[in-house]
Amino acid sequence: MQTVMIVGAGKGGSALLRILMETSMLKVKVIVDTNPHAPGLKLAKEYGIQTGTDWREFISEEIDIIIEVTGDQEVFLQLREAKRKHSVLIPGSVAYLIAALIEEKEDLISSIENEKFKHDLIFNSTGDGMIGINRQSEIILFNQSAEEMIGVKKEKAIGRHILDVIPNSQLQRVMETRRAEQNQELVLNNGLKIITTRIPMIGENSELIGAFAVFK
pLDDT score for 96: 63
Amino acid at 18: R
Banded model confidence at residue 89, pLDDT cuts 50, 70, 90: confident
pLDDT score for 102: 62
Task: Answer whether residue 106 shows pLDDT above 70.
Answer: no
pLDDT score for 214: 85
pLDDT score for 62: 81
What is the mean predicted confidence (pLDDT) over 79-96?
A: 79
DSSP for 138-149 reads BEEEE-HHHHHH
Quote the strand ranges of 106-162, DSSP E.
Answer: 129-134, 139-142
Q: For the chain, how big is the Rg over CA atoms in Å?
A: 28
Average per-residue pLDDT for the chain: 83
75-79, 136-140, 178-182, 188-192 — most confident range: 136-140
Contacts of 207 (CB under 8 A, 6+ apart): none
pLDDT score for 41: 92
Residue, of 138 and 19, whose pLDDT is higher: 138
